[in-house]
Amino acid sequence: MDKKDIQKHAIEKRKSRDKTRRKRQILEAAGRVFLQKGYLNATMDDISLEVGLTKPTIYKYFKNIDHMCYLLFVPLIDSMTQNLARLEKDVLAGKYQSGAQLIHDIFQTFYEGYKISPDIFRLLQFFQQSGAIWNLEEELRESLNEKGRHNARITRRAYRIAMDQGLLKKYEAIVALDVIYGAFLGIIQWTDIRSHRNGFKAGWDETEESRLVRLQFMEKLAIETLALN
């Protein structure tokens, strides 16, 4: 590779890095706008103002607001998929000696997904619970729904295998896991509400400590109810 080719390659790499950085900046700005104003009330003008770029520049990177919203959610969901797949693989390999450890790891997997980006996690839950997801373009909406269904299938398979291995009691997997995940979401939301009590937002450390205490208590109840050993 001669000097000219090396310079060309270096320029292309810099442009690629700049494009990636700018795309990330726009997505982060869109996430802040969605959290502040709500997805249905957010406009491209709001996002343009937040990120400090013109709308034509933003449209070079994203088709529309739906596209931005989708790309905010996908990394979080895909990370959950990877973690759940590892958990299922470990169950299949017989690595778990107790149902208690498996339930702990299920809770931990949910919590690690939340910690990737607490704000995006909250936004995703709002989308699902409020029905706002139905306002997304059909292709994007169905893609998100299928990713969620895929994660649910992985977790249920792991749970059923663990029952067959004598680690967990014979409860219907979909019911047991719905209760576990519902309790997890409830604790996340309730500690968020409590952090704003009396009009004062508690600090991150205080809120997180409160959240972990409640998650650990819920995990203990789940272990007592579901684990055989």
Question: What integer is the mean pLDDT of 20-26?
Answer: 91
pLDDT of residue 31 exceeding 50? yes
Partners of residue 227 on adjacent β-strands: 168
How many CB atoms neighbour CB 100 within 10 A? 20
Average pLDDT over residues 186-201: 72
Pair 107, 184: CB distance under 8 Å: yes
Average of pLDDT values for 22-45?
Answer: 90
> What is the residue-averaged pLDDT of the chain?
88
| Sole residue written with tokens 């950085």 | 21
- First-to-last CA distance in the chain? 63
Tens digits of residue pLDDT in 144-171: 999 999 999 999 999 999 999 999 999 9
pLDDT cut 90: percent of the chain above it: 60
For residue 11 the two structure tokens come to: 């320029």
CB atoms within 10 A of CB 54: 10
- Equal CATH topology for 1-62 and 71-226: no
* Its pTM surpasses 0.85: no
The H or E element that residue 13 is part of is helix 3-37
Q: What kind of architecture, by CATH, is found in domain 71-226?
A: Orthogonal Bundle (1.10)
User: Comparing C-alpha atoms, which of 201, 19, 4, 42 is closest to residue 123?
Assistant: 42
Across 84-98, 111-125, 146-160, 164-178, least confident range: 111-125
Measured over all CA atoms, what is the biggest interatomic distance in the chain, rounded to whole angstroms?
68
Residue spans of the domains in the chain: they are 1-62, 71-226
Q: Could you give the dihedral angle defined by the CA atoms of residues 78, 99, 218 and 160, in that order, rounded to the nearest 10 degrees?
A: 50
Predicted confidence at residue 15, as pLDDT, reads 59
Give phi and psi for 166, each to the nearest 5.
Answer: 80, 20
Q: What is the pLDDT at residue 200?
A: 46
Question: What's the CATH number for 1-62?
Answer: 1.10.10.60
- Provide the pLDDT for residue 56: 93
Dump pLDDT digits (tens) for 59-81: 999 988 989 989 999 999 999 99
Identify the pLDDT of residue 215.
94
